[in-house]
């Protein structure tokens, strides 16, 4: 006969086994993912041969007054939401006219009605601007805000007005756009590489073209650019699109007669072609010839 103590022990054991079975059969709680109030965004842009990357969070207006409201005039702003915006440069740059070494920086701003202060701070990963310390600023530059005709609901950072040696970093939200010019010294970096490459025994036609057009676009040694384009044309004598580019170089050199003859040769070859790019180069050469009259 089982004693009361033994019966109690059996009852507890049975209850434990039953509960364990129930737990084993219960489904695991699902992993929940909720929309972010200010989604993370990344923008990458190459300027010349410099890679720039911006990592930021993108708050929306949601019916709020932003500047002078949510973001007070004269106060340091993280330039986004959550962690302060981070910007990375692969080479040294000029940021708003100030020299900045290659590296990563926190991007802060101080909004004002007529002039913003844009700050690069060497301490990245800061949450908001709560621990911001001016002592860690690398540069502070001034930027003039531009009024937009229509509001931008979600804070946006873009690059615009791209050139080989510069671009505008644009901060836009509500009805305000703030541009900051970023400049890179692509000529100093690239010219020695080009000159060295051109002495090789196996220069490819495409390299001649790229080098020639880089010199053309940056107003460097145009006679050298013309000779490199000649080398590219010699390797591809039917490439009338390269002949057109030779005409552009001669035009910039001031050789009007040479540019005209070269453009006419390119136009003739384009008219005789049946390829998809024919019409484009007919139009380009006709425009150039009109300009050369």
Q: For residue 174, what are the contacts with CB-CB under 8 A and spacing of at least 6?
A: 61, 65, 66, 67, 148, 151, 152
Q: What angle do CA 90, 96, 98 make, to 5 degrees?
A: 75
The answer to whether the beta carbons of residues 230 and 242 sit under 8 Å apart is no
The fold for domain 186-292 equals 1.25.40
Measured in whole angstroms, the distance separating CA 106 from the mean position of its chain's CA atoms is 16
**pLDDT tens column, 20-76:** 554 556 678 888 889 999 999 999 999 999 999 999 999 999 999 999 999 999 999
Token representation of residue 19: 């509960």
Q: Which strand (E) or helix (H) includes residue 226? A: helix 222-235
Domain range list for the chain: 40-183, 186-292
β-pair type (166-183, 146-160): antiparallel
The pLDDT value recorded for residue 176 is 98
By C-alpha distance, which of 80, 85, 77 is closest to 53? 85
Predicted model pTM? 0.79
Distance (Å, whole) CA 189 – CA 139:
23
Bridge partners of residue 47, in order along the sequence: 50
Would the pLDDT of 8 be above 70? no
By C-alpha distance, which of 139, 121, 118, 140 is closest to 83? 121
**pLDDT tens column, 154-194:** 999 999 999 989 999 999 999 999 999 999 999 998 999 99
Token representation of residue 86: 């981070």
The pLDDT value recorded for residue 228 is 97
Distance (Å, whole) CA 213 – CA 192:
16
């Amino acid at each position: 006969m089982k004693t009361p103590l033994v019966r109690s022990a059996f009852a507890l054991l049975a209850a434990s086994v039953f509960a364990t079975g129930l737990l084993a059969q219960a489904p695991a709680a699902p992993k929940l993912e909720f929309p972010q109030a200010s989604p993370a965004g990344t923008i990458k842009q190459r300027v010349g041969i410099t890679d720039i990357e911006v990592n930021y969070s993108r708050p929306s207006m949601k019916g709020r007054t932003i500047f002078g409201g949510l973001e007070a005039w004269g106060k340091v702003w993280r330039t986004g939401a959550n962690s302060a915006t981070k910007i990375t440069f692969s080479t040294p740059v000029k940021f708003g006219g100030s020299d900045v070494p290659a590296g990563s920086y926190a991007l802060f701003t101080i909004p004002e009605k007529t002039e913003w202060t844009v700050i690069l701070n060497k301490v990245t990963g800061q949450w908001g601007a709560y621990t911001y310390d001016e002592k860690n600023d690398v540069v502070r530059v001034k930027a003039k805000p531009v009024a937009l005709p229509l509001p931008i609901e979600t804070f946006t950072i873009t690059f615009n007005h791209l050139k080989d040696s510069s671009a505008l970093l644009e901060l836009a939200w509500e009805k305000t756009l703030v541009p900051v010019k970023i400049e890179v010294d692509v000529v100093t970096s690239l010219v020695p590489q080009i000159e060295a490459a051109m002495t090789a025994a196996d220069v490819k036609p495409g390299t001649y073209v790229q080098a020639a057009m880089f010199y053309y676009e940056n107003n460097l040694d145009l006679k050298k650019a013309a000779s490199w384009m000649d080398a590219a044309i010699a390797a591809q004598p039917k490439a009338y699109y390269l002949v057109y580019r030779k005409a552009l170089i001669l035009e910039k050199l001031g050789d009007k007669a040479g540019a005209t003859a070269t453009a006419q040769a390119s136009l003739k070859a384009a008219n005789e072609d049946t390829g998809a790019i024919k019409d484009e180069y007919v139009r380009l050469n006709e425009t150039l010839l009109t300009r050369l009259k």
